[in-house]
DNA sequence: GTTGAGCGC
């Protein structure tokens, strides 16, 4: 090759010619042909090109024009186009095609965007304090301030008294005590947890927190521990949140546990959140049986 | 249908 160039410097290889002067060779090709569009909207374009090897190639492109797309509309759709215009388009010609672009601002927020929860929880500290947060959303619960999850009327916390934080601030006969005792019926209470909390002595209350363990099942697979904490925190001090993770797939197994410092808070959470729709699923919230090891 | 990890004298 090198010697070729040396003896015949003006002669170039095909490949090089095509790269550098390819456009100039187009005159060697037959002209581009356009056929149609026919009655069906089919349009054919026949072109000729040189391929990589320098050979002439015929390229046929078949396209459908918009006319065909219209022709394929249902008869009803076509008929609708002849209807008189109404509304803002009332002054338009019958045959005119008018597309209205809404200027209304519609803000959509993914209610549970991945990773949004922990920061939000950290920043707000408490879901109840999120009420003061600004921002345009479609749905903001006026009771708990949670956005995009439920309306005020569906809020699981809506008729909930302030969560109890300590053991000593609950006078007997208060709304809290009433709610706790009234809600007990129907729900399974493990033997170790039976009996009113008010009757408990100081030593009973110093039980391990695991005793106030609440099992949450039917969680959506993208529910994480911060989400559970956010969901259960309004009922009272939460000592532990756990979401079971499949070791193989590292996906949620759809259940978890929440431990409350106070048993009665756990009971109220069970009463309020069992059967509560969360992420399109109906939660099951019950007392957890002690873990077996 | 659905009930947790890991520690290791």
Q: Which of A64, A84, A100 is the last residue of a domain?
A: A64
A260 touches strand B (CB under 7 A): no
Assess if residue A242 is contained within a domain.
Answer: yes
A268 vs A273: CA distance, rounded Å: 8
Q: How many domains does chain A have?
A: 2
Total residues found in chain A within this entry: 293
Do the Cβ atoms of A194 and A236 come closer than 8 Å?
no
A231 vs A73: CA distance, rounded Å: 49
- With CA of A217 and C1' of each nucleotide, the nearest comes out as B2
Assess if residue A125 is contained within a domain.
Answer: no
Encode pLDDT of A67-81 as tens digits: 444 455 677 777 777
Encode pLDDT of A55-65 as tens digits: 887 878 777 75
A194 in helix, strand or coil? coil
Place A35 in a pLDDT band, splitting at 50, 70 and 90. Answer: confident
Assess if residue A85 is contained within a domain.
Answer: no
A80 in helix, strand or coil? helix
Encode pLDDT of A149-195 as tens digits: 777 777 887 766 545 544 433 333 333 333 334 344 445 555 545 54
| Predicted local distance difference test score (pLDDT) of residue A230 | 94
Do the Cβ atoms of A137 and A247 come closer than 8 Å?
no
Assess if residue A119 is contained within a domain.
Answer: no
Q: Give the tokens for residue A281.
A: 């699923």
A123 vs A110: CA distance, rounded Å: 18
Q: Which ranges in A92-134 belong to alpha helices (H)? A: 116-124
A255 touches strand B (CB under 7 A): yes
Range of the domain at A257: 161-287
Which range has highest mean pLDDT (A31-45, A86-100, A240-254)?
Answer: A240-254
Tell whether the model's pLDDT for residue A8 goes beyond 50.
no
Do the Cβ atoms of A258 and A240 come closer than 8 Å?
yes
Encode pLDDT of A208-260 as tens digits: 557 899 999 999 999 999 999 999 999 999 999 999 999 888 899 999 999 99
- With CA of A246 and C1' of each nucleotide, the nearest comes out as B4
Alpha carbon separation from A273 to A71, A121, A134 (Å, rounded): 54, 19, 27
A8 touches strand B (CB under 7 A): no
CA–C1' gap, A200 and B5, in angstroms: 32
Assess if residue A87 is contained within a domain.
Answer: no
A184 touches strand B (CB under 7 A): no
Residue A78 CB partners (closer than 8 Å, separation 6+): A70
Burial level of A272, CB count in 10 A (0-12/13-18/19+)? Answer: buried
Assess if residue A247 is contained within a domain.
Answer: yes
CA–C1' gap, A154 and B4, in angstroms: 30
CA–C1' gap, A73 and B8, in angstroms: 72
Phi, psi of A70 (to 5 degrees): -65, -40
Assess if residue A110 is contained within a domain.
Answer: no
Closest residue by C-alpha to C1' distance, nucleotide B1: A218
CA–C1' gap, A21 and B3, in angstroms: 75
Place A98 in a pLDDT band, splitting at 50, 70 and 90. Answer: low
Assess if residue A131 is contained within a domain.
Answer: no
CATH number of the domain enclosing A179: 3.30.70.330
A244 touches strand B (CB under 7 A): yes
């Amino acid at each position: 090759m090198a010697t070729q160039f040396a003896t015949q410097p003006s002669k170039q290889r095909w490949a090089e010619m095509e790269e550098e002067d390819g456009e100039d060779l187009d005159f060697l090709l037959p002209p581009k042909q356009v056929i149609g569009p026919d009655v069906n909207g089919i349009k054919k374009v026949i072109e000729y090109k040189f391929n990589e090897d320098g050979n002439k190639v015929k390229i046929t492109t078949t396209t459908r024009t918009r006319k065909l797309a219209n022709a394929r509309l249902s008869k009803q759709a076509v008929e609708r186009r002849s209807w008189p215009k109404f509304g803002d388009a009332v002054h338009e010609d019958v045959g005119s095609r008018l597309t209205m672009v809404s200027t209304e601002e519609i803000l959509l927020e993914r209610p549970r965007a991945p990773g949004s929860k922990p920061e939000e929880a950290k920043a707000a500290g408490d879901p109840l304090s999120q009420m003061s947060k600004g921002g345009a959303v479609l749905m903001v619960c006026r009771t708990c301030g949670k956005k995009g999850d439920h309306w005020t009327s569906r809020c699981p916390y809506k008729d909930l008294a302030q969560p109890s934080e300590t053991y000593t601030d609950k006078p007997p006969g208060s709304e809290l005590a009433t709610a706790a005792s009234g809600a007990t019926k129907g729900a399974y209470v493990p033997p170790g947890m039976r009996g009113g909390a008010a009757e408990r002595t100081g030593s009973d209350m110093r039980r391990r927190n695991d005793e106030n363990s609440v099992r949450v099942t039917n969680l959506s697979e993208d529910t994480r521990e911060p989400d559970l904490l956010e969901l259960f925190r309004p009922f009272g001090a939460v000592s532990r949140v756990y979401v079971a993770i499949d070791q193989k797939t590292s996906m949620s197994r759809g259940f978890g546990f929440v431990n409350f410092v106070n048993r009665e808070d756990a009971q109220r959470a069970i009463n309020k959140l069992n059967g509560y729709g969360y992420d399109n699923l109906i939660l099951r919230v019950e007392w957890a049986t002690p873990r077996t090891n």
